[in-house]
Structure 1
Amino acid sequence: MATAIDLGPYALPIELREQSPQAVLLETVGLDQRQQEKVIERFNHDRNEGYQEFISRCTDFEAEIAKETGAKHFTYGELEENDEDLKKLRGWLDKICKLDFYSAPLARDATAHLERCEILLDTYARKVFAAQEENRTGQSETESE
């Protein structure tokens, strides 16, 4: 039986502990202030790369919504597809943030981009529901004539 070690915020969820995972936890500490700054710089550089790619995908998402809106393509299928894309973006940002130990500079920009995507999708969804309602009531009126 393994000895339990209190890892505080690094504690594993019960289901993982029951599966007996193996892991090594390391604490990164620079030898001096300059080395510590290099460690932080490296972590932030890596996270910023992730945030930059994420922001690029958000821009693609925004362009897709603009394209569908411009084409007046207000269907439930398109809404569902875009909703799935937004869920993927949320999950991706969550994964990047979990690795962002030193608050990389692009974190706020990435979060702001995700918020814009959420607002755009909400606006698009309202247009889809309005268009579908208009189609439904328009068909009802045509059928009753």
Structure 2
Amino acid sequence: MHPLEWLLLTYKIPAEPARKRVSVWRKLKAMGAVYIQGGVCLLPKTDDHLRRLKVIENEIAEADGEALLLTTVGLDQKHEEKIIARFNADRDDEYKELIEKCIAFEDEVTEETRVKHFTYAELEENEEEYKKFKSWIEKIRKLDFYKAPRGQEATERLTRSEAVLDAYAHNVFAAQEENRPSDTPKDPR
């Protein structure tokens, strides 16, 4: 087995204006980079990451900063495992936050069911919230380069949230007057 390769970016940006430093940091975090220390980060070596890091390297230069972009490998299996563990820890933190939001969502929908608050407006609001969760998990999965342990748990929790929402939707439709079966036949005239 050949060693895994990573792209290592080390950079310095002047302290002011801070927005330039923050902009670079946000872009790197959005790509899934892990920081080894301040101004030093890693990403798996891919053509897409290389292209995007070169754009960021130019942005750093335009901000009067300095950047160095290198390809690197761990010296041994333990170094690789340590780096992969850092990537997985970041993704697990994101999955954990999503799981917590899904649990809160399920609790809220369960409470709406308990008090029989079955309205189309509430259903629409809950559906929008669920769509955000689906979008969120897809963003995390794109950055889950090494299959973080909590990924499966997050997928299962999202499936459970969908089931809770489906049950709530069924109750909403059943509670609406226009969806109830009529006891008296309609006058054909």
* Shorter-chain TM-score above 0.5: yes
Match of 1:121 among 165, 170, 180: 165
Point out where structure 1 has 5 or more consecutive residues left out of the alignment.
1-6, 12-20
Match of 2:120 among 55, 58, 76: 76
Alpha-carbon distance between aligned partners in 2 of 1:26 and 1:91, rounded to the nearest angstrom: 32
Q: In terms of Rg, which structure is larger? A: 2
SS at match of 2:55: coil
Instruction: Quote the RMSD (CA, aligned, Å).
Output: 2.8
What is the aligned partner in structure 1 of residue 110 from structure 2?
66
Higher strand share: 2
> For residues 16-95 of structure 1, what are the structure 2 equivalents within 5 Å?
22-23=55-56, 29-95=73-139
Please give the per-residue CA displacement for 1:31-88, whole angstroms capped at 9, x wherever unaligned: 2111100000100111111111110000001001101000100000000000000000
Name which structure has the greater RCO, CA cutoff 8 Å, separation 6+: 1
Shift of the 77–121 alpha-carbon distance from structure 1 to 2, 3 Å rule, reads same
Contact 1:47 1:99 (8 Å CA) reproduced: yes
Contact 1:62 1:120 (8 Å CA) reproduced: yes
What is the aligned-residue identity percentage? 51
What is the aligned partner in structure 2 of residue 15 from structure 1?
none
Higher helix share: 1
Contact 1:28 1:39 (8 Å CA) reproduced: no
Point out where structure 2 has 5 or more consecutive residues left out of the alignment.
1-44, 58-68
Please give the per-residue CA displacement for 1:70-112, whole angstroms capped at 9, x wherever unaligned: 0100000000000000000001111111110000000000000
Instruction: Give the TM-score taking structure 2 as reference length.
Output: 0.59
